[in-house]
Structure 1
Amino acid sequence: MSERRRRIGDGLAVLAGARPDVLAAAPGARQRFVALGGVLLSTGALAAVSAAFAVGMALGVWWPLAVLVGLGWGAVVVNLDRMLLVGMAHDSSLKRNLVMAVPRVGLALVLGVVVATPLTLQVFSKEIDTEIVAMQAEAADAHRVALESDSRFAGLPDLRERIATQEAVVASGGVADPGLAVVRAGVTEKQAAYDRAVTLQRELDAKAQCELDGTCGTGDAGTGEAYLQARAAADAQTAVVTAARAELDTAVAAVAAAEGRSAALAGSSLDADRAELTRLTAELDRQQAAFDVENEGSGGILLRLEALDRLGGRNMTLAAAQFMLSLLFMCVEVLPVLMKLLLNFSPPTAYDRLVQLRDSGDVELEEMAQESRRTVAQAKEELLVLAERERVDRQKEAILARRRAALAEVAARTEAARAQPEAPAAEEPAEAPRQLWDTGPIRELARSAAVRTVRSVRRRPADRTPTTV
């Protein structure tokens, strides 16, 4: 068990950036690096959980896949934090530490915000879900109003009202048509005129009757002059009543005909209006249904952040809790860099001094190795130069020997030619006679060989191409 714990501790120390060879020489620093490695693993685990929640909220994927993605993101965060720690070597200078720490702390803060956001959303998930339902309902209502105010659907209220009017007209046989108000007003006037004529006729009949009875007028019963005048007036009014009745019947017939035509016209246009209303209503419902599907499935991180912001704007307690929770997660993420920065301000430990000695020793050894390789390379070059010089000297001796042999051969041939007797004058030689000193082609060959030899000997060493040994 202790061996296993020791291996785990060594792994955490290496994760925190410790060098095993130096740590073996300075075991007192082991606990510090083990604790720092544990902090790194804690931040990685927090980042893994945050990424799993983020992937689940944003994409709605299967939770084992979200966990795998979260583990990958946690490994990335651990690697980044380890890079920030390893890059901050121990230095007692405040200025250099600040210069090194500011960008690292800034990067750690960015990572902290990224890690803290999904965790904060998950903590307030119930409140956010309730707010999202309200926001989706508001968005659906706003979209419905926007659709109804669209030019394509702006005539729907008038179309519905017209269809209702047409249905009422058809159901009432044209009576409910408001366009027949003028015609009905004429019937009303004719009816009033007829009623007045009938009333006047009744009054005249009553007056003639009371003249006949003697109960009114002259008071004399019988068919006297007063009665005859009253009867004549009553009979004349009967013609007026008949005429008024005829006019009323004509107006009523006109109204009935107008109502029939109105009912027929409303019935003929009702089907077309109903079809248009059905088409527009179906298109409106289709677009609203498409928006509702999209609206209900829009519960991603952006909408949840907006819901959390709205909740924080209405509830200061929730806003304070959100701020403190986010600050906690960010502090956990920044903690490794802050710990390393604080350790840099402390006096150098034995581990730090050993690291500095090992690094300086490695540099010195590498410099010595470089110097040795440089000396060996220089000696090899000198040997190559000496070997090349010996080869050139050997070639020069060989060329000089060939030159001396060629000159001796030419001299021997010249002496042999001089020792021969002269030929008779009568004989025609095959070719022009040569002088005793003319050695012919042999002399030319010897001369050209001597020139080549001298040129090769006088050539500078820089003009010759070195050969490798």
Structure 2
Amino acid sequence: MLKQFFILCSGADTDILNDCSNGEQNKYAGIGATVFFTAVMATIAASYALFTVFDNLYTAIFFGLIWGLLIFNLDRYIVSTIKKRDNVISEILQATPRIILAIIIAIVISKPLELKIFEKEINQVLLEQKNDLTLANQHQIAEQYNPKIAELETEISSLQSQIETKESEVNALYDTYISEAEGTAGTNLLGKGPVYKEKRDKHDAALTELQQLKTVTTTKIEALETQIATLQDNYTTTVETSQPIIDNFDGLMARITALGALPWLPSFFIFLLFLAIETSPIIAKLLAPKSEFDYKLQDQETAIKTWTLQKVEERKLLIKTDNTINNKVYNEVADEKDILNYKRKQARILMQNQADAFLKQQKGIL
């Protein structure tokens, strides 16, 4: 039962193969088994690749089975269409397009399995890439907010500088009127005279201005600090919103790119393994000598070809003979007087009808 299933997978003509030796049947069963297990590997590889895309097990398995059946059908077609010839060069030319197709299939099958085999290494590469993307993302977002924040902070510093300047002015006026009272500066007279009172009034006026300036400036600084806090909150929100996109940066294309960052030699040997599996039925048929099945298949095909060509030639000969007979018959009939008189009579009637029709048309125009 299993042997017959693998023979069916090989694409060989079972009616012919059943009349062949047991060894010949085993050879094609082996070719069919290779085709079948290649399709199984393709199903597994496609299911894993699609799972990284859809993140749904049942969807991945469903489409993986479809892909496996497609690969199975292609491999079966490739193997079944390679026929042994008497010319080695003709066989190689016949197999070349199929080998190219087998190489493409091997690449498609091996890549998802490489992703699974090197999953830990790929995860490490992806982690490094995510960290780089996170830092780059934060830097790019910061460039949107930092200039405005710096501008507001500069404005706050300017307001605080105005307060400090005014405080220095008030402190200087304070020192001036105190020195006047102590008699250590100004008039150098001890006591609170008119000059002291004038300097004290100037200090008090400046102090009042300082308090008003502090009140107004504090309100402005609080408003500016509120804007800065809002911008910082917006920055944090933007970073938190964009971070999940970076965290989900582990799709199929990202993993293939990360695989390319790893050493190429292990991946290359895995590709060679699948290439050997995929092309082994083709290579086996090319290297194997012409066997019993090939001769019987050739006998069946040439018999049909010969019979078809024979019928085509017979039809050509039939047409040629029929044309010769028709020409001879019409040449003999052309010389008979009755035929000539009848044709002359019919031509006269036709010309009369044409003349009547033309006259009727002209009258209608007039």
Is the counterpart of residue 338 in structure 1 residue 283 in structure 2? yes
Q: Which amino acid aligns with 1:185?
A: S
Shift of 1:111: 1.6
Give the structure 2 partner of residue 180 of structure 1: 163
1:255/1:9 CA distance change after superposition, 3 Å: same
Summarize the Cα distance change of 1:29–1:44 in structure 2 as closer, same or farther, 3 Å threshold: same
> What does residue 108 of structure 2 align with?
114
Counterpart of 1:264 in structure 2 is 216
For the 8 Å contact 2:176–2:199, the answer to whether it is kept is no
Structure 1 Cα separation of the partners of residues 257 and 313 of structure 2: 66
Query: How large is the RMSD of aligned CA atoms in angstroms?
Result: 3.9
Tell me, which stretches of 5 or more residues in structure 1 are unaligned? 170-176, 202-234, 401-450, 458-469
SS at match of 1:333: helix
Within 5 A, what are the aligned runs for 1:391-406? none
Is 1:247 the equivalent of 2:240?
no
Q: Could you say which residue in structure 2 is the equivalent of 1:434?
A: none
Q: Please give the alpha-carbon distance, in whole angstroms, between the structure 1 residues aligned to 2:86 and 2:146.
A: 75
Where do residues 37-436 of structure 1 align in structure 2 (5 Å cutoff)? Answer: 37-60=32-55, 62-91=56-85, 93-150=87-144, 154-159=147-152, 177-193=160-176, 237-239=189-191, 243=195, 247=199, 250-251=202-203, 253-268=205-220, 270-271=222-223, 273=224, 276-277=227-228, 280-281=231-232, 283-310=234-261, 312=262, 320-343=265-288, 347-373=289-315
3-state DSSP of counterpart to 1:149 = helix
Change (3 A) 1:182 1:377: closer
- The size of the alignment, in residue pairs, is 343
**Residues 187, 248 of structure 1: 8 Å contact kept:** no
Separation of aligned partners in 1, 2:343 and 2:166: 143
Does the aligned pair in 1 maintain the 2:180–2:188 contact within 8 Å? no
Which residue matches 1:461?
none
Q: Which amino acid aligns with 1:88?
A: I
| 1:282-317 deviation per Cα after TM superposition (whole angstroms, max 9, x unaligned) | 55445434422322333211111233334x2xxx5x
Structure 2: how far apart are the matches of 1:192 and 1:304? Answer: 74
How far apart are 1:78 and its partner, in Å?
1.8
Secondary structure at 2:250 match in 1: coil
- Rounded Cα–Cα distance in structure 1 between residues aligned with 2:188 and 2:235: 69
Partner amino acid, structure 1, of 2:257? E
Distance 2:82 2:117 in 1: 35
Percent identity between the two aligned chains: 18
1:11 positional shift = 3.6
**Distance of aligned partners of 1:246 and 1:358 in 2 relative to their CA distance in 1, 3 Å threshold:** same
Code of the residue aligned with 1:357 in structure 2: it is: D
User: Could you list the per-position Cα deviations for residues 302-343 of structure 1 after superposition, in whole angstroms to 9, with x for gaps in the alignment?
Assistant: 111233334x2xxx5xx5444433432333233333333333
Of the two, which has the highest radius of gyration? 1
Amino acid across the alignment from 1:258: L
Moved more, 368-377 or 261-270: 368-377
Report if the CA contact (8 A) 2:122-2:259 is conserved: yes
Q: Which amino acid aligns with 1:309?
A: G
Query: How far does the alpha carbon of each residue in 1:84-120 deviate from its partner, in whole angstroms, 9 at most, with x for none?
Result: 2233221354433443344332322222111111111
Greater Cα shift, 133-142 or 242-251: 242-251
- Give the SS at the match of 1:154: helix
Q: Counterpart of 1:184 in structure 2: which amino acid? A: E
Q: Distance in 1 between matches of 2:152 and 2:210?
A: 23
How far does residue 158 in structure 1 lie from its aligned partner after superposition?
Answer: 3.8
Quick one: distance in 1 between partners of 2:20 and 2:309? 26
Distance 1:386 1:94, change over 3 A: closer
Whether the 8 Å CA contact 2:182–2:191 is kept in 1: the answer is: no
